[in-house]
Structure 1
Amino acid sequence: MKLTLKREAFCNYYIETGNASEAYRRAFCCQKMSEKTVWEKASVLLTKDKVRARVEELQNEQKNKSDITKEKILSELSNIAFSSISEMHNTWIERKDFDKLSAEQKSTIKSISTKVLKKNIGTNDDPEIVDVEYVKIELHDKLKAIERICKMLGYDAPVKQEITGKDGKDLIPKIEVEIIDKREDVSDEDSND
């Protein structure tokens, strides 16, 4: 399958960024176009059979090169979706406590802040002041993880519903229309003239 250089670049940038508009902008150097125009052109380009096939081919190459499976992705998303901040503490914790978290718990962390404070580990009579590193964690968005899981598993598929009125009758009554032919009848006698 042969693509133009720009279309090939578009496909590669699309795989890299996951954003059709950004891929179009990079491949076609269209900095002066409006966002709407870029989006429209990128959307149309993604509907082209050869482009769509090349994107799928590149995606499959990436899948084959990596050991990332749907199961691994679901496992990570599940860690996030079903994690609890209460298991990890909702405020600053000492580094030693943070180090005790499991790999699954750590995989749910979006960001970490640290600070060092002085702490007396001695007594009032015999103080021993040491530096203690504290960690504050923020978890990834649970709802986004749940939404992504639902999409992957097809739980978000639209449900077809038939909407009816009272007693199962149509909401909009069907109207029968009689079509009347307004053309004049032409008799055989008139057609001989």
Structure 2
Amino acid sequence: MGLSIKQENFCNYYIECGNASEAYRRAYPSSENWADKTVWERASVLLKNNKVLARVEELQKELKDRSDVTKDRILQELSGIAFSSIASMHNTWIKRKDFEALSERDKAAIRSISTKVLKKNIGTIGDPEIVDVEYVKVELYDKIKAIERICKMLGYDSPQDVNVNMVSPMTKEEAKRIIEDL
């Protein structure tokens, strides 16, 4: 395609990380100590170069052809996140289901699970009984971000044509007549 080695490296790094500035710094090591703004400007100019842009698109197409990731699959995954509910992960309002009992869709909506054990006195002041109590925090992926991404994919965020019937302007005589009638 007539790209320099550094330009080719930039394209590959850009595909790898998705960040033009980071890709530029990796492809052009001399830019390591440059200001972020300078790197961003140079990376932006490079991405607008027709040959570089064509190569990035070619690399993206190669990856897409080799992968089993489709728009339908992405949409299905995002839908699972967007329409997930912490309630489906519980038997009662306080007792959660065992992880193995969750559906694959519920599991896919989980961003993280963390636990901590705290000591708790369940006895009395005169007769303390200290027990370990395990607390589990389940964090789901961001539903709003998933919905926004779905809307963008499906074009729901696109500008809509609005059919407005224009009313012709009123003459001074018509306005006077209406005011007199009032």
TM norm structure 1: 0.70
Judged with a 3 Å threshold, the aligned counterparts in structure 2 of structure 1 residues 47 and 91 are, in CA distance, closer, same or farther, namely farther
Residue range with higher mean Cα deviation, 43-52 or 109-118: 109-118
Provide Cα deviations, 1:137-182, integer angstroms capped at 9, x if missing partner.
100000111111111112222346799xx9567xxxxxxxxxxxxx
What secondary structure is seen at the aligned counterpart in 2 of 1:75? helix
Q: Tell me the secondary structure at the aligned position of residue 31 of structure 1.
A: helix
1:33–1:93 Cα change, 3 Å: farther
**Paired residues of 1:14 and 1:23 also in contact (CA < 8 A):** yes
1:2 Cα deviation after fit: 2.3
C-alpha distance in 1, partners of 2:162/2:51? 36
Question: SS of the residue aligned with 1:105?
Answer: helix
- Give unmatched runs, 5+ long, in structure 1: 119-130, 170-193
Q: Which has the larger radius of gyration?
A: 1
For the pair 1:19 / 2:47, whether they are aligned, the reply is no
Within the alignment, does 1:72 sit opposite 2:90 as a pair? no
Residue in structure 2 matched with residue 10 of structure 1 by the alignment: 10
How do 1:114-193 and structure 2 match up within 5 A?
114-115=115-116, 135-159=136-160, 167=167
Give aligned-pair identity as a percent.
Answer: 64
Contact 2:82 2:144 in 1 (8 A): yes
CA contact (8 A) 1:15 1:55 kept: yes
Mapping 1:13-92, distance limit 5 Å: 13-29=13-29, 30-89=31-90
User: So what's the TM-score if we normalise by structure 2?
Assistant: 0.74
Shift of 1:114: 2.9
The question of whether the paired residues in 2 share the 8 Å contact of 1:93 and 1:136 is answered with: no
Report the AA paired with residue 154 of structure 1: G
What is the CA distance between 1:12 and its match in structure 2? Answer: 0.6
Could you tell me how far apart the structure 1 residues matched to 2:93 and 2:42 are?
48
Tell me the SS of whatever aligns to 2:33: coil
In the alignment, the residues of structure 2 paired with residue 15 and residue 91 of structure 1 have an alpha-carbon distance, to the nearest angstrom, of 44
Structure 2 CA distance for partners of 1:93 and 1:110, relative to 1, 3 Å = farther
The answer to whether the 8 A contact 2:13-2:27 is kept is yes
In the aligned structure 1, how far is the partner of 2:162 from the partner of 2:37?
34
Distance 1:136 1:93, change over 3 A: farther
State the distance in 2 between where 1:146 and 1:88 align: 20
The structural deviation recorded for 1:88 is 1.4
* Offset from partner CA, 1:78-121 (integer Å, 9 cap, x none): 00001111111498856x62220000100001011134689xxx
